[in-house]
Structure 1
Amino acid sequence: MPCSTDVAACSRYLGRLFAARPEIAAEIAAKIDAPVTATEMRGWLATEALTDDSIKPALRRLKQRAYARVAARDLGGRAHLAEVTECMSSIAEIAIETALAVLRDALTARYGVPRNGQGEEQKLIVVGMGKLGGRELNVSSDIDLIFVYPEDGDTDGAKSISNFEFFTRLGKQLIAAIGEITGDGQVFRVDMRLRPNGDSGPLVCSFDMLENYFITQGREWERYAWIKARPLSGGRLDELEKIRRPFVFRKYLDFGTINAMRDLHAQIRREVARKDMATNIKLGPGGIREIEFIAQVFQLIRGGRDPALQIKPTLQVLSLLAERGQLDIDTVLELTAAYDFLRRLEHRLQYLDDAQTQNLPDSAEDQQTIARAMGFANFEALATELDDHRQNVSRHFEAVFADPNEDNHALDVVWHGGEDDHRAGEFSRLGYRDPGAAITRLDAIRGGVRYQQMSEATRSKFDALVPRVIEAAAATPAPDAALSRILDLLEAVSRRAAYLALLLQYPQALRQVASIAGSSSWAAEYLRLHPVLLDELLDARLLEVAPDWPVFRTQLDAQLDAAEPDTERQMDLMREAHHAQVFRLLAQDIAGLLTVERLADHLSELADIMLDLAIRYAWKKLLKRHRDEPRFAVVSYGKLGGKELGYASDLDLIFLFDDDHPDAAATYAKLATRLNTWLSSQTAAGQLFETDLRLRPNGDSGLMVVSLESFRQYQLESAWVWEHQALTRARFSAGDAAIGAHFEKIRCEILCKGRDLASLREEVRGMRQKMYEAHAGKSELFDLKHDPGGLIDVEFMVQYLVLGHSAGHYELTANKGNIALLKLAAEAGLIPGGLADQVRDAYRDYRRLQHGLRLNNLPARVEAGPIADRIEAVRALWNHVFGD
């Protein structure tokens, strides 16, 4: 059991403190069940008469009281790790806050208030780094600080000095107040070496100095250090954050940081080995530092694109990585358990003599004391569990940081040049059909300007990657196509070394790229246009998890809200999120996990979500709004209207409103225009959708947005038959649901109008003939969409049946898609059931074939022979319906 009966037996320091200050022992005995709070500590200081002379002993007494109680609670099994680290962090913050106020007042009385050129008061910002920044301070920690102030200037006193000199004096006095060893000990050791230029740099720096340092000299390890930076005092902190954030968190995925972190850790490991510190539970193999490195490398890689990862506490980061699928849950559970164990052990090592140590003791007596404090019967049992945790940490660390490319690759000679016969032989051995074309392409890249202009570091990554690309492409069914398409991708991203680093660091991602590129030229081009999607390949759930659209919408909505009022960032966020989801569906599609129908359902629901969010945030941008929520809706036609959306389908849309406010028409016209911009404009992140608004009343000459009543009137009095045909595949997609319901009533009213069947038949046949003549090709192949017996014939038959018979068969008004409507028509006795089933199968097959061809950017034409029975079935039903 922990040392619950006699905490002094587990801590020589506490034994000495209790002997010197028995009142502390008495206070602990009375309050052992209550955690130490920041309010309580401030209350202790409020009873002191604090001056620049009395501040040191007061702060040391504060530290002793708070430390003793939290240590007693911890050793007695009453405090969990979070309470201990929070208490220690609060001690440091309160000590800094109190000392700073007292010392500043004394300096101000002598020199005046520091001000900038505009006369504005300037304050010292004390930045807590490391564990203090993360509120994870250990029980015998030093504190890493950096001193920053906003602007240069001078104090306004009779004896004026520069702001730089004022804050330098204040900083030195603060360090002494906290860190100087007096008869009462010290509050914390203070380490200032993380400041710009370290010990050789000035003690304080202005915002301009800090920003210039980050831009011109900031190193990779400093990015790591500044992750946890947290201001503890001062003002204008938003400005400081704008300097810190872009230095630490890159705008794009930053996989190159893995190499830097790997090198930093190797340097630490060498130092540990040199000093024979294998028993160091922080810096040694499988120690605390490796857990922190795992968490923080993901922060550096992804924090710029995922602001949620910019949090500071290690365990919270690990938990978030599990939620994001960046680490699997078992890994995070093992790392979390190890972190808790190692940090509690670290504290017990430090409780012995209040020493900043993480080394296991050598003496048998101390070993037994530590074991008892950890709840073990003996040190051997403690060591066994410790070894288990350290082995787990090392295993996970190696999985994240191991360099998969340490050795030269067998195909290096194929890339770097050599005898063409040998290279051709290697390509043939790997299964390439045209080795000559592959060799020519590689030589063209190596001799090209883009390759020659690469930096040495980027070229090194490129050189290491190409042989692995050749190998990965060879493992696909179409090596030549896969290689060509991946090389297109590599050339496109060659200036972005982070993408090259990603593919080098994660061979499984490269294999996925090869599989996707070999299967689909459209997918390869999509990846080339949006290389940020390479990151999606690292999610082990890519091919396993079906989209959860409500969760996706909620998360994207939160991101958009957080980006207010930055319109450009919001538009990019929508595009990035849409591209990521499309790519996930694409990967599942290529893997054969989705039917064409299911894929279309997903793409249609995704489009609806994007439309709805675009309405919401475009509305917020209007300067003149007469209501909080717009009475506005988007109605979709065509592919989206029929929930048959494909990857590259444009959106056929109309905009409706139902609002009697005098400014409604003008306001919603502005909203419609802005919404169309949100959807169709090109930004740095690409385009969301191509839109087509010509199906609105009166087409291109009509208003961008119309009222519900105007829409109804137009449909009843002015619309052409082809517009009513289009209405059979129209539905409410986004916006005000009440308008959507009203639209559906109007739609059903129009579809149920009584019509002369002979006249309708001629109208539909005439429109079909015009479409055929407009798209008639000269190919001997069968056009799946436009040729007689193809997709358009099926769609026109369904539209005719809906328009001609909904008055007597209301169920036909349901927008359920062509396959379901053919079944309903057969059940209503309008067409033969057996023939309807054959045509439904034909429609499915046509869509599947069309989809497969589009994935490789091929025309939707096939040999007619293998599908002759499908063509015949469609033609037979056409003859039955139209009498041709």
Structure 2
Amino acid sequence: MMSQPVDDYQTLLQQWQHMAGEQERATAWSEDLRQLLVASDFARRVLLAEPEQLPVLADALERAEDDPLPRLEALTAELAPDDEAGFMRCLRQWRNREQVRLIWQEVRSQPALPERLEAITQLADAAIKAAADFATAQLVARFGEPAVCPHTGKPQRLTILGMGKLGARELNLSSDIDLIFAFPQEGETDGERSLSHSEFFTRLGRKIIQLLDQRTEDGFVYRVDMRLRPNGQSGPLALSFPAAITYYQEQGRDWERYALIKARPITAVDSAEADLMPALQSFVFRRYVDYQVLTALREMKQLISAENRRLQRQHNIKLGAGGIREVEFIVQALQLIQGGQSPALTEANIYRVLAAIETEGLLPDQVCHELRDSYDHLRRVEHLLQAQEDRQTQSLPDSEDWRARLIEVAGFVDWASFEAWLDQVRARVSTHFDAFIAPSEPVETPDHPWEPYWQTPAEADWVTDFAEDADALREAVEQLQADLDKYHVSDAGRERLARFMPLLLAELARLQQPAQAVPGVFQVVRAVLRRSAYLIMLVENPYAIRELVRLTALSPWVAAQLSDKPYLLDELTDSQQLYRLPERRGLRDDLHQRLLRLPDEDLEQQMEQLRHFRHSRVLRAAACELTGNLPLMKISDYLTYTAEEVLQQVFWLAWEQMTEKYGTPTREDGSLCDTDFAILAYGKLGGIELSYESDLDLVFVHDGAPQGTTKGARSVDNNVFFMRLGQRIIHLLTTQTPSGILYEADMRLRPSGNSGLLVTSLSAFATYQLEDAWTWEHQALVRARPVAGCPDLCQRVAEVRAEVLGRPRDTEALRREVLNMREKMRANLATPASHRAAEFHIKQDPGGIVDIEFIVQFLLLRHTHALPALARWSDNMRLLESLESEQVIDNATREALSQAYLHWRGEVHRQALQQGDGRLHGAAQLAEFQQTIDTVSHCWQQIMQPENA
């Protein structure tokens, strides 16, 4: 044990012994106190600051006193009703003292674990209720009472649903709390400054979050996570019961059923039980045995397994293989499948559900016992880890000191024996998890005897199976064998490779030109030689090997992606997912689920998960395009939607980090901003034309009070807050992690370019665009649109864009400025005229993509003042359609430019997948596109240079 806890133990024990009438009890509790200080530096700091709490805590522990609310009421009794700072101080001091009591219970391992979990939950319930009562009183004083609730006959109150372990009364010792806010029905408050119920309860929700979540010099109470609410972070903070019920009935997803199993009303319980909860129960639990959910659960299980393989979470006792999450998955899956037929399975608490599963024979008794015991052991370790610093963590410590302290409190003689015991516990869980919801069809392995081709390649009959490609295949295999020592492949890795290679060769033999796949597929194999878990995954999923061979033969870009990011190999295991791109909502749900499974404070893993999501979705798009499963426009839409969903999540991550550090920015009336931040996309993202390696052209806009400040422990000017928010977004996008970067971000299109502010206020953005922007900046605005941030502000930014595009312009002056800009670009970026017979730049040369874009931009800027409907879209295809429908161009011109644009974009995508350079080379390629070049050039002459036509 560190010397500091020893010294502090002696100090605290002596102080306790010298308190009146406490000497005998202090001596009796001395070993318990020592164990507490060994286990928790947090408890040590609290007690050193308040040693007088020692007898109070001992009293509570001796009486097994769980109800902490009277102690909070005594602490706040003298506060004025509007003393928010005083209330927050008392709430935090009370929470810290109670947390020491709970940690001490955990160290003593008394009472039993289910009761300890209940006590932890009771503390959170008390804090939530106290914050809700205080915040409600403040808002009622300003805006009046909400309308009467039909279920209680009293003014409506906010229903706070506890989710996850909070809802199930099994909260972690140091945990975030997952909440959903709802209210009975729409209406208005009855004060002089009346608010709609939606606004009233939204403000109330924000205030409750602030009271609980905001860090002060006394710390915080709970970190509040609202991501489980309908539509996640992009949804309203508080919804009426009817709106929430409608959402779940019409849009609810299987993962939301999984989440709502544990939902429990903490406040306004009578209203919720009368209306909301029955509807949620009917959404979660079907009246029939729900076998259809098996597919969704199987996909969730595969995702969990893939995450463990990719992230190597062996030190995480919750998320790693054999961890807490796998026990919870088994139990909740059975609840979803059978809950509609068995009311006992609709319980939220895992212990009661396990008892029901055993009683009803849904799992063997021994399995239930092992799951329950393993869960007990894992939760005990989890709590001891969290006790160390009062921090939500499930990762085993790295430091020798904390390891020594952990095993002492846990009752082990050394770290090796502790690890061996924990491995045994987790192995039992893994066995049951792997057996649960087994694959729907057994995996068959090819029966062709390919082993000799790997074991003794010099003796194998390559010519019979590979004909003219025989030498290429044999040389590739022999070179790979020669590289095993170079790559320091372990014995286990070599054994796995020996199982994999015959399956790979069998798939290569299926190809008409197997040598075409050799460079790419062997590049991937080399990349995973030292991460041979992927070889096992491929061996267990021969279909994935077939797709690996197929796609690497078609695209060196795919081979490079799989080599650089081997975790993408998991995407090849399911053909239905690989070649089926979900709609926008499906993308959002998938990303939301991935991030929800991560600890809220684990920024590193959140950044990794965002990158995994983006790269896996881009790979799926490439697979669909390479195999002709989807047309170009669908591919671009999908890549664009993927970027937008990622940007929205990046924005929320950055917002949460900044508000935790500085508090929330304010509006002119002093109310908290509802983010009031928008991300405006230009270029390919703005034009819904993203390709595989496109940068993101972005502009940041805010609408906080220019002279306002944030409300938080480290208050800063609103302008400083939003600037740092913008910097954080760029950091999250562009930081290099083990999985690469997310996107390159280009901010040069913001007002005044690189010399301008990183984040611009809405009023400054509008003034600049209307008064100072160059014509080329208005051209760029044609392809701009808001893509993430606050929906209300996004709408106002879109209105500014429409106003700018709709300004009257002198036609000839506009034409001259557009032509001048195009000439500058050609002079600097296009292929020299002397080389164009052999080379053509797809984007910049005359007749290429930029000519089409400039034609559209010129026509929009020329006609939108008279035809405002032209400003509706930002993508070139729909802009061309709008120009035709508004009779600016005729059908023949629209058809010619649209087809040319699609032809060019198809070539851009093809070259990206073949790792081309964006140019046409040689007479054959130029001849293929000559008609397209001539078509665009003709339209350019007719529209942009009519005097020369």
- Please give the TM-score of this superposition, normalised by the length of structure 1: 0.57
Q: What SS does the corresponding residue of 2:807 show, helix, strand or coil?
A: coil
Structure 2 distance, partners of 1:122, 1:658, is 50
Question: Is the CA contact 1:680–1:688 (under 8 Å) kept in the aligned structure 2?
Answer: yes
Structure 1 residue 458: deviation in Å? 0.9
What SS class does the counterpart of residue 789 from structure 1 fall into? coil
Structure 2 counterpart of 1:470, from 505, 510, 517 = 505
In the alignment, which residue of structure 1 is the partner of 2:483?
448
Distance 1:752 1:476 in 2: 57
Shift of 1:783: 3.1
Residues 38-57 of structure 1: pairs in structure 2 closer than 5 A: none
Letter in 2 for 1:867: F
Identify the residue that residue 580 of structure 1 maps to in structure 2: 616
- Aligned to 1:818, which of 876, 879, 885? 876
Equivalences for residues 10-159 of structure 1 within 5 A = 115=31, 118-120=34-36
Counterpart Cα distance in 1 of 2:799 and 2:905: 30
Q: 1:414 to 1:231 in 2, by over 3 A?
A: farther
For the Cα contact (< 8 Å) 1:635–1:653, is it kept in 2? yes
Mapping of 1:725-744 within 5 angstroms?
A: 725-744=779-798
State the alpha-carbon separation in 2 of the partners of residues 774 and 299 from structure 1.
48
CA distance in 1, matches of 2:845, 2:755: 32
CA contact (8 A) 1:632 1:739 kept: yes
CA distance in 1, matches of 2:907, 2:330: 50
Q: Does 1:874 align with 2:919?
A: no
Q: 1:112 to 1:855 in 2, by over 3 A?
A: same
Does 2:782 align with 1:764? no
Distance in 2 of aligned mates of 1:611 and 1:418: 50
Q: What is the DSSP-based 3-state SS (H/G/I as helix, E as strand, rest coil) of the residue aligned with 1:485?
A: helix
Give the counterpart of 1:666 among 720, 731, 755: 720
Deviation at 1:581, TM superposition (A): 2.3
1:404 is matched with which residue? 445
CA RMSD in angstroms, aligned pairs only: 4.1
Q: Which residue of 1 aligns with 2:674?
A: 629
- DSSP-derived class of the 1:542 partner: helix
- Cα pair distance change 1:240/1:412, threshold 3 Å: farther
Aligned pair partner of 1:490 in 525, 537, 544:
525
Aligned-residue offset at 1:631: 1.1
Residue 651 (1) aligns with residue 696 (2): yes
Deviates more, 1:309-318 or 1:500-509: 309-318
Residue 841 (structure 1) aligned with residue 882 (structure 2): no
* Unpaired stretches in structure 1, ≥5 consecutive residues: 1-107, 124-229, 243-293, 323-338, 348-392
**Pairing partner for 1:508 from 528, 532, 543:** 543
Partner of 1:382: none
Does 2:577 match 1:542?
A: yes
Choose the corresponding residue for 1:685, options 720, 739, 758. Answer: 739
Letter in 1 for 2:680: V
Match of 2:908 in 1: 850
Query: Which residue identity is paired with 1:560?
Result: L
What amino acid is aligned across from residue 310 of structure 1 in structure 2?
E
Counterpart code for 1:624: Y
Q: Distance in 2 between matches of 1:484 and 1:654?
A: 41
Deviations 1:98-144 (A, max 9, x none): xxxxxxxxxx99x9669368353999xxxxxxxxxxxxxxxxxxxxx
Structure 2 residue aligned with 1:30: none
The yes-or-no answer on 1:676 pairing with 2:730 is yes
Of 789, 801, 804 in structure 2, the residue corresponding to residue 750 of structure 1 is 804
Q: Deviations over 1:385-411 (max 9, x none)?
A: xxxxxxxx9999797776837x7x634
**Secondary structure at the residue paired with 1:683?**
coil
Structure 2 match to 1:723 = 777
For 1:84, the equivalent position in structure 2 comes to none
Q: CA deviation at 1:812?
A: 2.0
Whole-angstrom distance in 2 between the partners of 1:730 and 1:394: 51
**Deviation for aligned residue 1:599:** 1.2
1:730–1:815 CA contact under 8 A, matched in 2: no
Change (3 A) 1:709 1:309: same
Instruction: Select which of 327, 342, 345 maps to 1:311.
Output: 327
Whether the 8 Å CA contact 1:477–1:518 is kept in 2: the answer is no
Q: Distance in 2 between matches of 1:830 and 1:122?
A: 79
SS at match of 2:680: strand
Q: 2-side partners of 1:485 and 1:319: how far apart?
A: 45
Assess, with a 3 A threshold, how the Cα gap between structure 1 residues 466 and 114 changes in structure 2: closer, same or farther.
farther
Q: Give the C-alpha shift of residue 686 in structure 1.
A: 2.3
Preserved CA contact (<8 Å) 2:676 2:793: yes
CA-CA distance at 1:775 after TM superposition: 2.6
Instruction: Say whether 1:773 aligns with 2:827.
Output: yes
Q: What is the one-letter code of the residue matched to 1:881? A: I
Does 1:600 find its partner at 2:636? yes
Letter of the structure 1 residue corresponding to residue 677 of structure 2: F
Q: 2:577 is paired with a residue of what secondary structure?
A: coil
The one-character-per-residue Cα deviations of 1:601-626 (angstroms, maximum 9, x if unpaired) are 11112211111121112111121123
How far apart are the structure 2 equivalents of 1:762 and 1:315? 70
Name the count of aligned residue pairs: 557
Cα pair distance change 1:303/1:657, threshold 3 Å:
closer
Alignment of 1:215-614 (within 5 A): 301-302=305-306, 304=308, 307=319, 310-312=326-328, 314=330, 316-317=332-333, 343=361, 404=445, 410-419=449-458, 425-426=463-464, 428-429=466-467, 432=469, 435-448=470-483, 450=485, 453-476=488-511, 478-543=513-578, 545-554=580-589, 556-557=591-592, 559-560=594-595, 562-614=598-650
CA distance in 1 between counterparts of 2:532 and 2:474 reads: 24
Once residues 529 and 580 of structure 1 are traced to their aligned partners in structure 2, the CA distance between those partners, rounded to angstroms, is 12
Offset at residue 878 of structure 1 (A) = 0.5
* Secondary structure, counterpart of 1:446 in structure 2: helix
Distance 2:435 2:606 in 1: 40
TM-superposed deviation, 1:503: 0.9
Contact map agreement 1:654 1:693 (CA 8 A) in 2: yes
1:538–1:231: structure 2 CA closer, same or farther, 3 Å change rule? Answer: farther
**TM-score of the superposed pair, with normalisation by structure 2:** 0.53
Mark the structure with the bigger radius of gyration: 1
Please tell me whether residue 804 in structure 1 is matched to residue 889 in structure 2.
Answer: no
Distance 1:875 1:457 in 2: 62
Match of 1:792 in 2: 850
Other-structure match for 1:638: 683
SS at match of 1:656: strand
Distance 1:297 1:631 in 2: 38
The whole-number CA distance in structure 1 between the counterparts of 2:592 and 2:796 is: 26
Q: Measure, in 2, the Cα distance between the counterparts of 1:295 and 1:790.
A: 44
Greater alpha carbon shift after TM alignment, 467-476 vs 525-534: 467-476
Checking the alignment, whether the CA contact within 8 Å between 2:587 and 2:645 is kept in structure 1 is no
1:553 Cα deviation after fit: 2.5
1:317 positional shift: 4.5
